[in-house]
Structure 1
């Protein structure tokens, strides 16, 4: 029996976990598979091993493992496969396939445009747009974020969109903000390329609050969240993982 295991990043923040689970429930409705479970890579439960156990106990014979990730990095290439390979030792009779992160997609860039518009603030001619990525050790992360920034600049008709990262890459979020402030622009839009809320969003909000006095107008836009295009994009990745004929090997 076919099953789907969604692997989300995980967070210590209860609201983040609830948001991720609610999002996945929307995807469940679009996938014609009875057995579907969500687990977390770290910082929350159930973990991957528990998620797999639950599906096997319900009769799963084939499990499509779907990473709930925006971009390809260490979690996709190493952490998730390593955990699944451990399960293969215990369940050699189960056929595991592996999906892909969402990657760079035009419809996701359009969500960023919407998040800018949702502020309800008209952009000044000298406004700075600061795209904030989570960051990661893989060079694919920086290439992807830079590509997204370029596509966003074209869509909103600005010369360029600045990028920065919350971890593992430079410029850091603090550095990106300082460069934007020193530019002399009177208006800065901070645009997080993050799926769900959590500590990272909270830290950005706090930093912006600290800098709000005596500095340009700094506006924190919404994250990607449960936008319908996000639901559709992940649903498509699920279908691809189910149809994938290449088994994840031990």
Structure 2
């Protein structure tokens, strides 16, 4: 039997995000059950289940080695090693290997492109990215013109994209989001004017700042693409900031996509990270 997979989330005071996290853990449990691998999930803080409870449950079921995988789009925070060290103090027989964060995996970029495609499909002349199997397209628009007026003809070259990350006090994590914006533009959004980077909180530019830069560059339409895994309060803040900016700039067509979300393609990336961690662990032990 393979070591269990322990998915680790940062945690927030957000029931919606926690519910989607739970559904994603269940999806992986169903997938890995075919290979006799247990799956659990826990949060570092705030949300339930807590990491300590999930580890205790796995140990109680007889697991003493596991793969700890941060369910994150950016690099691992310093909190995770400290948290796992505390778990080893509580459970002296516990051993674990780390899996890499999801990061800008090509399949993650393809999922972002799927979200962008929902909005790009309404842009005359744009080439929508290839669809991702098993993913339901989702989009919420920020109305900037009366709904009874026909949409203006806007070329892809007049359309900009704002990729929105969470924002962090860690400059390296913020720099990674800028890197993702560039990768996304080159691989999936090169038909558009630009892909600008913005953040929900902590560090500038915020969503309004990203939108303003696009406006000043001459964009007539801007598509906001959240670089977020699951729905919840963070996504609502992205939409709220875009709505507030759009209210003051009615001539700019602003559209907001949804998050990556719980889906099979995201599960594929996580399972590959899990298998990679197992191979590396076997190589070290050999």
TM over 0.5: yes
CA displacement at 1:134 relative to structure 2: 1.2
Q: Is the 8 A contact 1:145 1:163 kept in 2?
A: yes
Distance 2:23 2:86 in 1: 28
Matching residue of 2:23? 22
Q: 2:159 matched to 1:127?
A: yes
Aligned to 1:207: 241
| Aligned position for 2:215 | 181
- Are 2:277 and 1:225 aligned? no
| Distance verdict in 2 for CA 1:150–1:68, change over 3 Å | same
Alignment of 1:106-185 (within 5 A): 106-119=106-119, 120-122=121-123, 124=155, 125-154=157-186, 155-157=188-190, 158-185=192-219
Q: Distance in 2 between matches of 1:5 and 1:14?
A: 20
* Aligned: 1:46 with 2:49: yes
Deviations 1:76-105 (A, max 9, x none): 241111111011112121212111101222
Q: CA deviation at 1:203?
A: 1.1
2:194 is paired with a residue whose SS is coil
Report deviation, 1:205: 1.3
Point out which structure has higher relative CO (alpha carbons under 8 A, 6+ apart).
1
What is the TM-score of this pair, normalised by structure 1? Answer: 0.88
User: TM-score normalised to the size of structure 2?
Assistant: 0.78
Given that 2:231 and 2:258 are in contact with CA atoms closer than 8 Å, whether structure 1 keeps it comes out as no
For structure 2, the residue ranges without an aligned partner over 5 or more in a row are 127-154
- Matched residue pairs, number? 243
Query: Aligned partners of 1:240, 1:28: CA distance in 2, in Å?
Result: 18
8 Å CA contact 1:116–1:221 kept in 2: the answer is yes
Q: Which runs of 5+ in 1 are unaligned?
A: none
Task: Calculate the aligned-residue CA RMSD, in Å.
Answer: 2.0
Q: Distance in 1 between matches of 2:240 and 2:202?
A: 20
Please tell me whether the aligned partners of residues 153 and 161 of structure 1 are also in contact (alpha carbons under 8 angstroms).
Answer: yes
- Indicate the structure (1 or 2) with the bigger Cα radius of gyration: 2
Using the alignment, how far apart are the partners of 1:161 and 1:244 within structure 2? 35
